[in-house]
Amino acid sequence: MAWSADDNYLAVVVRNGPNESYVLTYDYIMRGKNQCCEKFDYVVNEVKFTPRDNQKLVLLGEGMFGFFGIVQKKFVDMSNYQDIPNYQEARLASRGLKQTFTSVIFTPHDQIIACSESGDIFVIEIMQVVQVIDPNQLVQKGSEPGTRLKFNHLKLNSSGFVAATDDVLYFFKFKPHPGEAPGKG
C-alpha cells in the first residue's frame, strides 16, 4: 500500500494467483471512490506514488519496473527510461526481461534512487542514469575473493539515504545543489 504525498490517494496491490496482480487506486477525499483498477499479468510487489504528482506511480515486481500515469481512470505506461547499465544483461536477455529494481526512493529533487535485482544502486534523473554506485567498490579489504554486496532495500532521510543488504547498512549523504544547505540535495 502507498499514500500519495498529499494523503489524498491510496494505492494497493492485490494478487490473484501466482502471475496476476491488480493495482487499485482510491480517492480518499471522495470517500474511498475507486479512481483506477488495472490488471497486470505478472507479480507486482510494490506500488509508490511519485512525490510531486499523485497521478503518477512506480510499480516494482518480479521481472518488471514501470512508471504509470493515471489518465481517464486507466494506467498509462510512461516507462521511457533508457541506458540503465546491467551487470546481468545476458541472463536477463535470454529470459526476455528488462532491468528491474527491488527498491526505489525519490529525492526531494525528483531523482530516483533504485536498487537493481543484482544489488547495484542507480541514480536516475529525467529518466536517464546519472550515477551508478557499484557495490564491488564498497567491499572491505580483506574480504573473501568474489565477495559482492547485494543491496536490496533503500530508505530516504533528510540528508541522504541508507542502502541495506541482508546483513550490512551503508549510509550515503547527498551533495548540496547550488544555493542549498548541505544535506538537502
pLDDT by position in tens, the chain (length 185): 888 888 888 999 998 888 889 998 988 777 667 778 888 888 888 898 888 888 888 888 876 778 888 888 888 887 765 555 665 666 666 766 666 788 888 887 778 888 887 788 888 876 677 777 877 777 777 777 767 788 888 988 888 899 998 888 889 888 776 666 554 44
The confidence score (pLDDT) of residue 114 equals 86
CA distance readout (Å), 136 to 5, 47, 75, 170: 34, 29, 37, 13
State the Cα–Cα distance between residues 86 and 44, nearest whole angstrom: 21
pTM equals 0.69
Measured between its terminal Cα atoms, the distance across the chain in Å is 27
Distance CA 169, CA 4 (A): 27
How big is the CA angle at 166 (ends 175 and 45), to the nearest 5 degrees? 85
Q: For the chain, how big is the Rg over CA atoms in Å?
A: 18
Q: How far apart (Å, rounded) are the C-alpha atoms in residues 139 and 144?
A: 10
Length of the chain: 185
Which residues share a beta bridge with 40? 21
